[in-house]
Amino acid sequence: MMVTRAFDVSVLGPPGAGKGTQAARLASAFDLLHLSTGDLLRDEVARATFLGGEAQAFMERGELVPDELIAKMVLRWLHSQQGYLGCAYDGYPRTTQQAHLLDGLLAELNRRLDVVLFLNVPDDELVARNSGRRACQACGVVYHVANHPPAKEGVCDACGGELAQRDDDREDVVRERLRAYRENADALLALYKARGILRQVNGVGTQDEVYRRLREAIRSVKR
């Protein structure tokens, strides 16, 4: 596929697969919006909003936040964007109910989800990626202590902010996140496979290698 216009892409995969890392790169390369429901939820929690208060306990346990809360949050986010010209959805949708809601929202904008990229990464690698992840508290850029370290330990290269581990990157919570993910993934992927827009991509390798595979996968989707 020649990417000649803004498009809508969803990057899916298990916890730590690299969804955030790669969705940010794709958004920047193709000039798309970037929507991470995980980042939006953490922002709601940090600002102690009503929605954040409702979501926090689910997140701390590593469970999915109920679909109704996600729907409210995504709707509000979409309405706050001016001049919607395509988006890289990061870890969204996670359930078939969320997928149907997104279909409806995009239809109102006269758009549709063009491609779904699924990152395949084995469990032992996922645990290592989650436990080594550090995120900037100021600007949100994500690092890894071994695979993608900052130039100066604990300090963000981009803005000089402080790097910290996420609360839900404790091993017991990571395992629950994996369980919650598995409970919903098969039905979701089956839905997109049936539409012919699902591309499964090997998520193991350097970030550049994975990025190149994703771009190839986007090109392979007929529109």
Report the interface residues with ligand AP5, using CB under 6 A.
13, 15-21, 37-38, 41, 58-59, 62-65, 70, 91-92, 94, 98, 129-130, 132-133, 142-144, 147-148, 168, 177, 205-207, 210
72 assigned to active site: no
Q: Residue 150 class from Cβ within 10 Å (0-12 exposed, 13-18 middle, 19+ buried)?
A: middle
For residue 121, the Cα-to-chain-centroid distance in whole angstroms is 15
Q: Which 8-state DSSP code applies to residue 83? A: S
Tell me if residue 219 is catalytic: no
Q: State which residue, 1 or 171, has the beta carbon closest to ligand AP5.
A: 171
What DSSP letter does each residue of 132-187 carry, written as one string? HEEEETTT--EEETTTB--SSTTB-TTT-PBEE--GGGSHHHHHHHHHHHHHHHHH
| Residue among 133, 134, 199, 215 flagged as catalytic | 133
Alpha carbon distance 113, 184 (integer Å): 19
Active site residue 166: yes
Pair of tokens at residue 211? 């990025």
Shortest distance in whole angstroms from residue 182 CB to ligand AP5: 12
Q: How far is the CB of 117 from ligand AP5 (least distance, A)?
A: 12
133: annotated active-site residue: yes
Question: Judged by CB, which is closer to ligand AP5: 152, or 223?
Answer: 152
Q: Which residue minimizes CB distance to ligand AP5?
A: 38
Please tell me which residue in 42, 177, 213, 215 is annotated as part of the active site: 177
Residue 222 known to be catalytic: no
Nearest C-alpha neighbor of 70 from the set 45, 96, 90, 40: 40
Catalogue the active-site residues. Answer: 19, 94, 133, 166, 177
